[in-house]
Amino acid sequence: MRKALALFLAILCSLAVLGNVFTVKFPDSVPLDTVGRLFVILTKDGTEEPRFQFGWGDAPSIFFATSVEGLNSDRTVSLDADTLGYPVEKLSDLAPGFYYVQALFDFYKTFHRSDGSVVTIHKYFQFWEAPGNLYSNVVYSYVDPKKASVKLSLSNQIPEEELPADTDLVKFVKIKSEILSEFWGDDIYLRAGIILPRDYHKTSDFYPVRYNIGGFGTRYTRVLNLMKEGSSFYKMWFEEDTPKFIYVQLDSEAPFGDCYWMNSENNGPYADALMKELIPYIEQHFRAIPQPWARLLDGGSTGGWVSLALQVFYPDFFGGCWSQIPDPVDFRSFQVVNIYEDKNAYFKDYGFYRVERPSKRDAKGDTVFTIRQENWMEYVMGPHGTSGGQWDSWQAVFSPKGVDGLPLKIWDKVTGEIDHKVAEKWKRFDIYLYLKENWSKLAGKLKGKIHILAGGRDSYFLENAVYSLKEFLDKTEPHYGGYVKIVPEVGHRRILTDKQVMLEMYQAIEEKLKSK
């Protein structure tokens, strides 16, 4: 009798574990053939909605996700104990407790691209704030994977995008890109935030332009914070000894992630759109000097790589770059992975044992999260390289497209095994390799235009690649005429202030004009 009772209870427990933990209701207005990805986000921090604590790497939230490929007649979708998540890898492993809980639905769109590919993907990679996406109210609830489900309703919709209002010195630009719209088979827009010089409305002068590319996912609206009255940037902008530039904040939003402003098989011709559409528009509508020497680039982290890459790959179009803490500039040191020689991106073998590779370290050198963990997070966010995360963004930019129209995988997201045939294709975006193989043609075009700064203890190990690039540039003949500085004990932060960047830019312009 006791054995039978124990068996009965065990069966009940197993059924409970396999039951639905979350049930999410869609509005009746949502079509039954809807495709997308559904997230349930949990956090212990109630100061803001869970969806705003949702993001890359060490964000303070737990999330679970499942793909939606059509709805049933009652328009509900459930997440059971087997649903994958991050950093808890499966819902059944979630620790029971009270959480702030919110559901978020990311609508996917099918693009019929001009290259013949048909891909279904989100239109905005920062989907937790993307126009049209749905989200629930926040529920504070006890969650236990072995108990009855928490019910959530997607009763709210993110409103359509509206450009912030212009001010006297801050302007916003949004233009349809004919080049990218043709590639994607759908309307694609380019955006930028612009800060005008302090005396712009008092003169008829034309000004050089500082094109800034921020860190990963930086939006054009960043200029609002920069020019917030009383901010350090605001005070600097009005100081008499601050050089006068038009400041342009580029916006790198693209369907597969951060576009990196490169022409790529997966993202499309973003470099062409920048140089043939957005920059000409800015030069026509604002008093920008339409000359290469007056187009200066700078940025940090992602923006550090982009500013350097645009200068290197398009040396005749831009007049100089100030690249700080750039993403990997030598793919033999892709953070801590040599993509050409290593067999596995997640683990390094030392004889009879394996060590898991870190992705981020703190100031003391302790690992914050590993490459495997970060890639798992992206795998849960969007399978098949569609998360829009950092590693998927790199993959979309650097990889060729596969027969399914999606980026070829540089490595298996679960195992970390590297595909060296794909790695070979990445070489065209390897800045170190490109400079080394083409220096005789580039030397005259890049003289005095390359300025790179990195921290000697970068959180993402980015100094490793900068060291090898510095070693090459220091030995160039003829010499490149710029600088590469690696500052010891500095982590992943900018070394030069905004004012210092513009002072160096202004000095470079003066020297260029004197030499003419």
Question: d(Cα 317, Cα 314) in Å, to the nearest integer?
Answer: 6
Report pLDDT for 482.
97
Q: At what angle do helices 390-398 and 371-381 cross, to 10 degrees?
A: 80
Tens-digit pLDDT profile for residues 349-375: 998 999 999 999 999 999 999 999 999
**Residues 435-458 pLDDT 10s:** 999 999 999 999 999 999 999 999
Asked if residue 104 has pLDDT above 80, the reply is yes
Terminal Cα distance for the chain, rounded: 99
Instruction: Tell me the C-alpha distance between 394 and 426, whole Å.
Output: 10
Distance CA 394, CA 264 (A): 11
Strand residue runs (E) in 49-203: 62-69, 76-80, 85-86, 97-107, 109-112, 118-121, 134-135, 139-143, 150-153, 156-157, 170-176, 189-195
**Per-residue confidence band for 195, with pLDDT thresholds at 50, 70 and 90:** very high
pLDDT of res. 119: 96
Residue 482, Cβ neighbours under 10 Å: how many? 20
Q: What is the pLDDT confidence band of residue 8, given thresholds at 50, 70 and 90?
A: very low
- pTM metric for this prediction: 0.94
Please tell me the distance from the alpha carbon of residue 347 to that of residue 342, in angstroms, as a whole number. Answer: 9
For 144, other C-beta atoms within 10 Å of its C-beta total 14
Confidence tier at 20 by pLDDT (50, 70, 90):
confident
Residue 18 pLDDT > 50: no
pLDDT of residue 56: 62
The whole-chain average pLDDT of the chain stands at 94
> What is the H or E stretch that residue 371 is in?
helix 371-381
pLDDT of residue 14: 37
Which segment of 56-70, 264-278, 297-311 scores lowest on mean pLDDT? Answer: 56-70
